[in-house]
Amino acid sequence: MKKFFILTNNPMVRDRYYKEFEVQYFSVDLLGILKYARDKIHLGYKLGTHPLSGSVKPNETPYKSIIMCYGDALDLDSLSIIENSIMTAEKFLKGKRPCKWNESVLKDFQIIDLSLMNSAIKDNLF
């Protein structure tokens, strides 16, 4: 079993997993979560899940949850993936006004992100 924590801006993921696993919740946008993940990688953590997993584009959802595994050195693969993910997200978000979704749509986005996290935990036996 890998030692890991969940990095998220999704309150539904936080509320679902905080009793079972370490959850680091931040009230930031999707790009903010990607940058937090990059900061953790610089501290020696590794990506446990791809930061742009799922078929929802970065400009189509405000929520993102990432599994981060404990490590003891800078993982260059994780660093490359997160840097490319940040550039991709910035490309999708460039020049676009932030969407103002209603609560029902935001809840749907939370459910999608939670579903991706449920699958990642189940499939990877974290």
28-38: per-residue pLDDT in tens?
A: 999 999 999 99
User: Which H, E and C letters describe 40-86, residue by residue?
Assistant: HHHCCCEECCCCCCCCCCHHHCCCCEEEEECCCCCCHHHHHHHHHHH
**CB 13 within 8 Å of CB 117:** yes
45-81: per-residue pLDDT in tens?
A: 999 999 998 888 888 899 999 999 999 899 999 999 9
Domain ranges of the chain: 4-124
Q: Which of 16, 23, 6 is nearest to 66 (CA)?
A: 6
List the structure tokens of 58: 């970065």
